[in-house]
Structure 1
Amino acid sequence: MRSFFKYVLATVTGIGIVVVLFFFLVIGIIMNALSKVSSSSETDVPSNAVLYISLNHEIPERTSENPFDGLNVPGYGDVKSLGLNDIVSRIAAAKEDSRIKGIYLNPTYVNTGMASLKEIRDALIDFKSSGKFIVAYSDNYTQKAYYLAAVADKIYLNPEGALTFNGLSSSVAFMKEGLDKLGVEMQVVKVGTYKSAVEPFILNEMSPANREQMTAYLESMYRSFLANISDSRKIPVDSLRMVADNYLLRNAEEAVRYKFVDAVMYKDELLTTLKKRLDVAEKKDVPSVSILDYTGKSEKEQTGSRIAVVYAYGDIVDGEGSESNIGGDRFSRELRKLRRDDRVKAVVLRVNSPGGSALASDIIAREIELTKKVKPIVVSMGDYAASGGYYISALADSIFAEKETLTGSIGVFGLIPNFQGLMHNKLGIHLDEVKTGRFSDLMSSPDRPLTEEERAIVQGEVNRVYGTFIGKVAQGRKISTQAVDSIGQGRVWTGEQALGNGLVDGIGGIDRAIRAAAAKAKLNDYKVMYYPTVKDPFSSFLGTSKERIKAWVLEDDLGAYREYIEQLRTITKSSGIQARLPYSIEVH
């Protein structure tokens, strides 16, 4: 009996502690939200100021409300971050803001894709067109950071710092040997010579076809990368290649020698330089405002009819999905509302997705097709708009991508794990069953391989879905299915290559897509509205905390290896036939 009361007391105490902690957590959220509301008016920007930009944080497509902004809460972080949308719009606002005289760019590590990086770079170049200055300074420049810094009027580097410039690379983690040791066989059914999403699970190295496509799109991306830097720094492309190929930038002095930076200096010397530019007394601080806090509005704010910008980012999944992915049902419902809204005269679909469920992709594509009959719909592609991401784009009136965008990957696959070796030989687990027909357990028995007849059935469905996919692309792009198949087969293309083979209509970011949509709708005055509506911080906290905490635990335990576990989990959890980009592509 004594032990019973001991356990009861311990349980009650535990519950009490949880309730108290939750109470203080909610109070903290409310107080944090109230403090944001009280400071939501325009930030006090000093006159004669510089806009400080570091971008030393993750850059999602859109800024999301963080209820723990500034608090070190697991899963939410303690660093403020901005989405690509706000970074670009705030730079544009600073261009028109008479209080802002220039930009102090302080990039070291920029955590975003090459296409998103190009949009930020273009915004900085547009800022310079106003006659205002940009000065870049860092202790160390990664290649992505330098790609941004190259637009500056002057680039400075710490005397003991470094500038990495050695070419682009992209690697793939292959898991077959590890799966073999576990006794797990991945059974693959696919269409497309280049559809290599399944390769990490069935091979230990790239197939020749995959190596061919990776080399082609990486070189295309690299040409654009070098051309943009060459244009900004007036260094010939051949010289840039020579420096990278021979790894000549080994210290700060060599960065000056090869004209990648203008001078080396310490931070105090930089501040003195900025004070001279701004005509500020040496004893005073440099007047500045961080882009994280700057909320200046462009004086060219538009009014009138609406253009709806709809963000589609993350994996494409069946059902409702969540804020971090594209749920087929939820997203098609959003498009349906906009199609029926007479105030909305055109739609811009911003796609940043590696694909996912073929079924969900088709559901969304149907709404795109119906919307196109009522009002113009234009696609703007981000870092990725491949496989299912291209599926949902194909039927739009026009498609725009950056040269660095990865798109195409028109192909489908099915991946059926066979855990027989793991269950029988490693764990000693055996399943037995009864069934009413030959195919009652098709793809539901994890401890046996597919029979030849079952594999033929699945292959037939994969072929059918691929036929539907290329048919939608042929319809949208107004070319034959044979032509689509010749550039399909799962092959990944950059935006530059896609422009050449007819998969996209033009090169440019979301601003160009908005202008194209306005032109198609014959609009001169319009207001841009963004969808889906961002949830309030408290709703977001209640809805996504579990996923955030799980991601934080994985990150804390596995660090850089987390992405491989996430990749394996995403593929093995995916049901139905998939239209997905080959693995996770990260360019370094």
Structure 2
Amino acid sequence: MKQFLKFVLATVVGITLVFIVGFLILLGIIGVAGSDKTIEVDSNSVLYIKFDYAITERTPNNPLNNLPFLGLDKPRDLGLNDILASIRKAKNDDHIKGIFLDESYMMNGQATTEEIRNALIDFKKSGKFLVAYSEIYTQGFYYLASVADKVYINPKGIFEFRGFSSEITFLKGALDKLGIEAQVIKVGTYKSAVEPFVLTKMSDANRMQVTSYLNSMYDHFLTGISNARHINKDSLFNYANTARIQQPEDAVKYGLVDGLKYKDEIIADLKHRTGVDKKDDLAGVEMDAYLKSNTPESGDTKQTGSKNRIAIVYASGEISGGEGDDNNIGSETISKALRKVRTDDKVKAVVLRVNSPGGSSLASDVIWREVMLTKKVKPIIVSMGDVAASGGYYIACAADSIIAEPNTITGSIGIFAVLPNMQKLFNDKLGVTFDGVKTGKYADLGDVSRPLTPEERLILQNSVNRGYDDFTKAVAQGRGKTQEYINSIGQGRVWTGTQALKIGLVDRLGNVKDAVRSAAKKAGLKDYKLVSYPEQKSTLDRFGEGLTSEVKAHFVKAELGENYGIYQQIKGVTKMMRTPQMRMPYDVVIK
């Protein structure tokens, strides 16, 4: 009885603590939700920009942001949409005298960096200053910072400038030790997503395609820096290839940075630029706060009182069936959004923003169908982000027009399936055996406790072949090409945006703003308002339906940092072993 009472008391205490913590978090959410009031920006202010987080397409409605009693009262992690908006606002804001680009790590793809970089180049047209500083320059951050008027580095800092590399982790050896065989069914010579399960190194075909697109991305990288810093591109290549930049002084010597400074010297320089006395505090505003200012956004987004709308439908993350969220594409969620904008008479055109490596072939086809139906009634333009490959390209190919960044990763037109054979693991390693009965020869097709029979493998191969035929047929129809031609540039091969333009997989190079302009032109609109879909749920809705997952994700991200992407990839492996996949081989991140 005593033990029972202890157990009951412990349970009651636990429930009470959960209730109290939940109540405090709820109060924090309500407080934060009510604090989004307009702020006033001081005269002679500097817009402070620092990217030390993974940049998503849209700023999430995260109920954990800015909750001081959880130690999370740092500025919000802004999405690309709000980052670009804040830079556009600052361009014509008389209170903003310049931008300070502080140490950042750019934990995102190259196309996202490209969009921000182009926004900073446009900002400079205002004549305001742009200063960059870092203790450590990764190649990704330096590419962004290279457009600044002045680029400074800490005298004891680190400057990385060695060229691009791409590395793949192969799991076959580990699977062999565990007694697991990856049974692969695929179409596409270059469809190398399955290679880590069946090989110990890159195939020749995969090595060739990776070399091709990596060189394309690197050439764009060097060209951008060459134009910004007025350094010959061949010289830049030589600096990297011979490891010429080893110390901060080397970066100054060869013109990649303008000087060596400590942070206090940077602050003094910014005070001088803004006319602030040395004894006074520098007037600065972070992007998160700046978005709440009453400064109107500049540019040609035409945010007027017009009844006409252009809808931006965000499709970001891996593609799967069912509901999705800001970081995962659920076929049901995106389909609902496309149906809603298609039937809304106020919406005159649609921009489908795709940032996805693909995923489920079935879910991709469901979304493709909605794009086709939308195209029949109003213009739909695709804007590609960091990656729009495999299933990500499939959902894009039916649009009126496709716009990609030069360093977008796209293509990967192919399909595969992976079914594990775990017989040796169960029998030899664990001593587990199975037995049963079935009413038909193929009733247990897909059983992981045994290998596929030749007849079963043929059934799956035919299914994958049909999927590839449907894929190439859809691309041929959408792009106005023959299926034979699409097959010749398909086979799972990955391309950059620059390469894709040459072979006809995209129509032009540009960013999301260019896609909006194109949609407006096709719809004959001069005045319009932008609206975003799928609608992001309110903080209270998110609190009510799944705060636990938000808490878990937040602290996992905080613990793993830039390795969070690897954690997500490992989780994604299990998804590949369920249904046929339209997915690119790997995620490309250049540091």
User: What TM-score do the two structures reach when normalised by structure 1?
Assistant: 0.95
Q: Distance in 2 between matches of 1:73 and 1:167?
A: 43
Using the TM superposition, give the Cα deviation of residue 299 of structure 1 relative to its aligned residue in structure 2, in angstroms.
Answer: 4.8
Query: % of aligned pairs identical?
Result: 52
In the alignment, which residue of structure 2 is the partner of 1:343? 346
Q: RMSD across aligned C-alpha pairs, in angstroms?
A: 2.0
Spell out the pairing of 1:103-252 with structure 2 (5 A cutoff).
103-252=99-248
Q: Distance in 1 between matches of 2:69 and 2:458?
A: 50
Change (3 A) 1:22 1:291: closer
Asked whether the equivalents of residues 316 and 355 of structure 2 are also in contact (C-alpha less than 8 Å), the reply is yes
In the alignment, which residue of structure 1 is the partner of 2:590? 587
Q: List gaps (5 residues or longer) in structure 2.
A: none
In the alignment, which residue of structure 1 is the partner of 2:303? 302
Q: Distance in 2 between matches of 1:544 and 1:7?
A: 27
Q: List gaps (5 residues or longer) in structure 1.
A: none
Q: Distance in 1 between matches of 2:18 and 2:48?
A: 41
- The answer to whether the aligner puts 1:404 opposite 2:407 as a matched pair is yes
Of 315, 329, 350 in structure 1, the residue corresponding to residue 332 of structure 2 is 329
SS of 2:351's partner is: strand
Q: Distance in 2 between matches of 1:265 and 1:550?
A: 39
Using the TM superposition, give the Cα deviation of residue 433 of structure 1 relative to its aligned residue in structure 2, in angstroms.
Answer: 1.4
In the alignment, which residue of structure 2 is the partner of 1:451? 453
Using the TM superposition, give the Cα deviation of residue 552 of structure 1 relative to its aligned residue in structure 2, in angstroms.
Answer: 5.6
In the alignment, which residue of structure 1 is the partner of 2:516? 514
Spell out the pairing of 1:385-400 with structure 2 (5 A cutoff).
385-400=388-403
Of 34, 40, 56 in structure 1, the residue corresponding to residue 52 of structure 2 is 56
Asked whether the equivalents of residues 58 and 326 of structure 2 are also in contact (C-alpha less than 8 Å), the reply is no
Asked whether the equivalents of residues 76 and 548 of structure 1 are also in contact (C-alpha less than 8 Å), the reply is no
In the alignment, which residue of structure 2 is the partner of 1:531? 533
Q: Distance in 2 between matches of 1:344 and 1:86?
A: 22
Change (3 A) 1:81 1:73: farther
Of 476, 499, 502 in structure 1, the residue corresponding to residue 501 of structure 2 is 499
Using the TM superposition, give the Cα deviation of residue 562 of structure 1 relative to its aligned residue in structure 2, in angstroms.
Answer: 5.7
In the alignment, which residue of structure 1 is the partner of 2:439? 436
Change (3 A) 1:105 1:192: same
Q: Distance in 2 between matches of 1:559 and 1:283?
A: 37
In the alignment, which residue of structure 1 is the partner of 2:264? 268
Change (3 A) 1:537 1:553: closer
Q: Distance in 1 between matches of 2:506 and 2:245?
A: 37
- The answer to whether the aligner puts 1:461 opposite 2:463 as a matched pair is yes
Deviates more, 1:577-586 or 1:193-202: 577-586
Asked whether the equivalents of residues 48 and 101 of structure 1 are also in contact (C-alpha less than 8 Å), the reply is yes
Asked whether the equivalents of residues 315 and 354 of structure 1 are also in contact (C-alpha less than 8 Å), the reply is yes
Change (3 A) 1:64 1:203: same
Using the TM superposition, give the Cα deviation of residue 557 of structure 1 relative to its aligned residue in structure 2, in angstroms.
Answer: 7.6
Change (3 A) 1:191 1:124: same
Asked whether the equivalents of residues 171 and 586 of structure 1 are also in contact (C-alpha less than 8 Å), the reply is no
User: What TM-score do the two structures reach when normalised by structure 2?
Assistant: 0.95
Deviates more, 1:523-532 or 1:490-499: 523-532
Q: Distance in 2 between matches of 1:346 and 1:557?
A: 42
Q: Distance in 1 between matches of 2:86 and 2:160?
A: 28
CA-to-aligned-CA distance 1:259-315 (integer Å, 9 cap, x gap): 111111222222222222222222122222112211233156532211101100011
Of 330, 352, 357 in structure 1, the residue corresponding to residue 355 of structure 2 is 352
Of 417, 420, 424 in structure 2, the residue corresponding to residue 421 of structure 1 is 424
Change (3 A) 1:16 1:544: closer
Using the TM superposition, give the Cα deviation of residue 547 of structure 1 relative to its aligned residue in structure 2, in angstroms.
Answer: 3.7
In the alignment, which residue of structure 2 is the partner of 1:567? 569
Using the TM superposition, give the Cα deviation of residue 556 of structure 1 relative to its aligned residue in structure 2, in angstroms.
Answer: 7.3
Using the TM superposition, give the Cα deviation of residue 91 of structure 1 relative to its aligned residue in structure 2, in angstroms.
Answer: 0.3
Q: Distance in 2 between matches of 1:391 and 1:83?
A: 25
Using the TM superposition, give the Cα deviation of residue 322 of structure 1 relative to its aligned residue in structure 2, in angstroms.
Answer: 3.4
Using the TM superposition, give the Cα deviation of residue 76 of structure 1 relative to its aligned residue in structure 2, in angstroms.
Answer: 7.8
SS of 1:230's partner is: helix
Asked whether the equivalents of residues 52 and 289 of structure 1 are also in contact (C-alpha less than 8 Å), the reply is yes
Deviates more, 1:323-332 or 1:368-377: 323-332
Q: Distance in 2 between matches of 1:449 and 1:551?
A: 36
Q: Distance in 1 between matches of 2:357 and 2:69?
A: 29
Q: Distance in 2 between matches of 1:84 and 1:585?
A: 18
Q: Distance in 1 between matches of 2:333 and 2:114?
A: 30
Asked whether the equivalents of residues 75 and 551 of structure 1 are also in contact (C-alpha less than 8 Å), the reply is no
Asked whether the equivalents of residues 75 and 552 of structure 1 are also in contact (C-alpha less than 8 Å), the reply is no
